[in-house]
Copies of this chain bind each other. A is one copy, B any other.
Amino acid sequence: MRIARRGLLLVLSSPSGAGKTTLARRLLDADENIRMSVSVTTRKPRPGEVDGVDYIFVDRREFERLKARRKLLEWAEVFGHLYATPRAQVLDALQSGNDVLFDVDWQGARQLKKRLSRDVVRVFILPPDGKALERRLKARNQDSEATVAHRMARAAAEIEHWDEYDYVVVNADVDEALAEIKCILAAERLRRDRQSGLDAFVAAMLESI
A contact set with B: CB distance below 8 Å: 1, 3, 124, 126-131, 133-134, 152, 155-156, 159-160, 162-163, 165-170, 172-173, 180, 182-184, 186-188, 190-192, 195, 198, 201-202, 204-209
Distance, CA A180 to CA B155, complexed state (A): 34
Distance, CA A172 to CA B195, complexed state (A): 16
A153 and chain B: residue at smallest CB distance? B209
Distance, CA A155 to CA B206, complexed state (A): 10
In the complex, chain B residues whose CB is within 8 Å of the CB of A208:
129-131
3 tightest Cβ-Cβ pairs between the two chains A and B: A130-B208, A187-B187, A183-B183
Partner of A209, one of B155, B187, B204: B155
Partner of A192, one of B130, B163, B190: B163
In the complex, chain B residues whose CB is within 8 Å of the CB of A170:
1, 3, 201
In the complex, chain B residues whose CB is within 8 Å of the CB of A188:
187
Instruction: Show 10 residue pairs from A and B whose CB-CB distance is below 8 angstroms, ordered by the A residue.
Output: A1-B173, A124-B192, A129-B208, A130-B209, A134-B209, A160-B206, A162-B192, A162-B198, A183-B183, A186-B187
Whether A126 and B191, one on each chain, are in contact in the complex, defined by CB atoms closer than 8 angstroms, is: no
Whether B159 and A206, one on each chain, are in contact in the complex, defined by CB atoms closer than 8 angstroms, is: yes
Known A129-B205, A162-B192; 7 more pairs at CB < 8 Å: A126-B205, A127-B205, A130-B208, A170-B201, A183-B186, A184-B187, A186-B187
